[in-house]
Amino acid sequence: MISILKRDILLSIRSGSGFTLSLSFFFLIIILIPLAIGPENTKLQSITPGILWISALLSCLLSLDRMFQSDFEDGTLEAFLLAPVPLEGIVFAKAIAHWLTTGLAITLVAPIIGFLYGFDQSTSLWMFLALLVGTPSLSFIGAFGASITIGLKRGSLLLPVLIMPFFIPTLIFGSQTVWQASTGLQMINSFLFTAGVSAFVISLMPFAAALAINSALK
């Protein structure tokens, strides 16, 4: 599984679809919002938690469609079926690689976003923690979505429509955590729910995705 992790990170760097694309897209949305609605600090701070999570979600979507598609096209996915590594483990490793190149990269720049929007240190810290525990669920749900659109014509267009509804719990609890932290309210419950959704998704989605891949190849 370490081999898959290493290879996918390397591929994402070489193809330019990883860190740079996701981060550029994320920063563009975050920077464009104040230009569109004006620089008023209170207004910006009230909508930032939602904007932040929607930006993270859209950035993760960018490279999802290639998660299994290139392996499907070059026959690697068939070879995986016969390899002495469980398919669930392969899905897990690929989702982790996707998270490292998108979700983690976004999480690491979150404190900069907090600074740009004038949040205090405590809010920026909770923003970082919420993204750290919440973004893995985006990659794992995405892995399931990518697995059920393998081999489909226009699968990359269908993928966001299929998986967006599954992002809703993470979006709600993740943005609530940041919003409650910024207004001085108790945010621990929302944070724990964000972590809970991630834990549930990480434990379930590799099995669901492996099942979908098996059925797509047969």
Position 40 contacts another protein (CB under 8 A): no
Query: Of 32, 85, 185, 204, which one interacts with another protein (CB under 8 A)?
Result: 85
Of 82, 153, 161, 165, which lies in the binding site for another protein, with binding defined by CB under 8 A? 82
Long-range contacts of 50-55 (CB under 8 A, 24+ apart): 50/175, 50/179, 52/110, 52/113, 52/127, 52/131, 52/175, 52/178, 53/134, 53/170, 53/171, 53/174, 53/175, 53/178, 54/29, 54/171, 55/25, 55/26, 55/29, 55/30, 55/106
**Out of 32, 78, 115, 203, which residue is the one contacting another protein (CB under 8 A)?**
78
Q: Under the criterion CB under 8 A, does residue 153 sit at the interface with another protein?
A: no
| Binding of residue 83 to another protein (CB under 8 A) | yes
Structure tokens at 147: 């697995």
Measured from the CB atom, is 13 or 188 closer to another protein? Answer: 13
Closest among 22, 129, 140, 137 to 88, alpha carbons compared: 140
Q: Does 161 bind another protein (CB under 8 A)?
A: no
84 is an interface residue for another protein by CB under 8 A: yes
Residue number, 9 or 162, with CB nearest to another protein: 9
In the chain, what is the straight-line distance between the N-terminal and C-terminal CA atoms, in Å? 24
Say whether residue 4 binds another protein (CB under 8 A).
yes
7 forms part of the interface with another protein (CB under 8 A): yes
73 binds another protein (CB under 8 A): yes
Closest to 93 in 3D by CA, of 208, 193, 6: 6
Query: Which residues lie near another protein (CB under 8 A)?
Result: 2-4, 6-7, 10-11, 14-15, 70, 73-76, 78-85, 217-218
